[in-house]
């Protein structure tokens, strides 16, 4: 339930801010969303806190998304 809520929140944030952002910012948001979702799932599967996994994955995904654009 927690990972579903975290993923839904990240997706809503991406959609809400996607229209008024530059291409680099959009890439960072998309990378953050994908990273947060993946981090939450991996955190839950590995037996760790999915919220910590989402935070770490989201931060890493945002950095990589912005850097690769």
Question: What residue spans define the domains of the chain?
Answer: 2-68
Q: Looking at residue 69, what is its pLDDT? A: 79
Q: Measure the CA–CA gap between 48 and 12, rounded to whole angstroms.
A: 24
pLDDT band at 8 (very low <50, low <70, confident <90, very high): confident
- Residue 65 buriedness (CB in 10 A; 0-12 / 13-18 / 19+): buried
> Which residues have a Cβ under 8 Å from the Cβ of 39 and sit 6 or more positions away?
50, 53, 54, 55, 56, 57, 58, 60, 61
Global model pTM greater than 0.95: no
Once rounded to an integer, what is the mean pLDDT over residues 22-45?
91
- Find where tokens 């760790």 sit: 48
């Amino acid at each position: 339930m927690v990972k579903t809520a975290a993923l839904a929140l990240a997706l809503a944030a991406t959609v809400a801010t996607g229209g008024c952002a530059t291409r680099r910012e959009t890439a960072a948001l998309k990378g953050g969303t994908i990273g947060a979702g993946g981090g939450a799932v991996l955190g839950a599967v590995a037996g760790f806190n999915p919220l910590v996994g989402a935070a770490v994955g989201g931060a890493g995904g945002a950095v990589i998304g912005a850097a690769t654009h």
